[in-house]
C-alpha cells in the first residue's frame, strides 16, 4: 500500500527549533539511509494525525514529496509520541527502493475464530502473539499477516512455521535455524469435562 505525504525542509535543528515547530502545528521528522545524507523535514500535524489513524501506515511505503527537495520513498522506522498527550512528536523515516530489504514487525489478523471446530467443541482459543518480525523487499511488505484459524481442532496449536506467508516474506525468528524459535502463535485448549 502506498501513501503520499507532503513535507517541507527544516532549516533549523535542535530541541528549541523542534519545540517551535510543534507549537506551529508541525511535526519534525528525518529521512535517512540508502547511502544519502539525512534530510530534516517537517509535516503538518493534521496530516500526521490523520495518517496514523490508519494502523497500516506503519507497514506501508510512503512517498514523501519534499517541497524544494526530492521525492523520497520511505518506511516509518521509528516514531516518538508526547508522554502525556500521545501526539506524535517526531518521525524517523528510512529511504527504500522497491528491492530494498526491510525488517518490520507486522500485526496478525486472525480469521475464522467462530468457525473453528475446536472452539465449537468448547475449547478456548488463546492468541499468544499479536505481531511478528518479518524480512522482505519493501515492495512485498505486508500491512498485516492473515492467519486462518478456522481449521483448528481442540488441543492444537498453530506455529510460526505453519503460517501461509505472502511471496518473498520471511519470518526472521525462523532464520536462526533453531526450532526453539518456532513459537506457537495461537492455541485451542481442550474443552473442560462436565
Q: What is the pLDDT of residues 121-144, one digit of tens each?
A: 899 999 999 999 999 999 999 999
Max Cα separation, the chain? 71
pLDDT band at residue 56 under the 50/70/90 scheme: confident
Closest listed residue to residue 29, CA positions, set 50, 8, 49: 8
| C-alpha distances in Å from residue 169, one per residue of 69, 111, 129, 165 | 32, 20, 18, 6
Last residue of a domain, one of 63, 95, 127: 95
Closest listed residue to residue 124, CA positions, set 62, 190, 67, 178: 190
pLDDT computed for residue 194 by the predictor: 60
- Domain span at residue 39 reads 2-95
Residue 193 in domain = no
Question: Does residue 126 sit in the same domain as residue 51?
Answer: no
Question: Does residue 110 sit in the same domain as residue 62?
Answer: no
Taking residues 141-156, what's their average pLDDT?
A: 93
Amino acid at each position: 500500500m502506498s501513501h503520499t505525504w507532503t513535507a517541507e525542509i527544516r532549516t533549523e535543528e535542535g530541541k528549541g527549533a523542534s519545540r517551535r515547530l510543534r507549537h506551529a502545528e508541525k511535526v519534525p521528522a528525518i529521512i535517512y539511509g540508502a547511502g544519502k545524507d539525512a534530510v530534516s523535514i517537517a509535516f503538518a500535524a493534521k496530516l500526521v494525525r490523520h495518517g496514523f489513524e490508519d494502523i497500516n501506515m506503519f507497514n506501508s511505503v510512503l512517498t514523501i514529496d519534499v517541497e524544494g527537495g526530492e521525492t523520497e520513498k520511505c518506511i516509518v522506522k521509528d516514531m516518538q509520541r508526547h508522554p502525556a498527550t500521545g501526539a506524535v512528536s517526531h518521525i524517523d523515516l528510512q529511504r527504500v527502493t522497491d528491492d530494498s530489504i526491510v525488517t518490520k514487525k507486522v500485526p496478525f489478523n486472525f480469521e475464522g475464530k467462530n468457525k473453528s471446530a475446536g472452539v465449537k467443541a468448547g475449547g478456548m482459543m488463546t492468541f499468544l502473539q499479536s505481531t511478528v518480525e518479518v524480512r522482505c523487499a519493501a515492495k512485498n511488505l505486508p500491512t498485516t499477516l492473515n492467519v486462518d484459524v478456522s481449521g483448528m481442532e481442540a488441543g492444537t496449536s498453530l506455529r510460526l512455521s505453519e503460517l501461509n506467508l505472502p511471496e518473498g516474506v520471511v519470518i526472521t525468528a525462523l532464520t536462526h535455524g533453531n526450532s526453539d524459535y518456532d513459537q506457537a502463535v495461537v492455541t485451542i485448549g481442550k474443552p473442560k469435562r462436565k
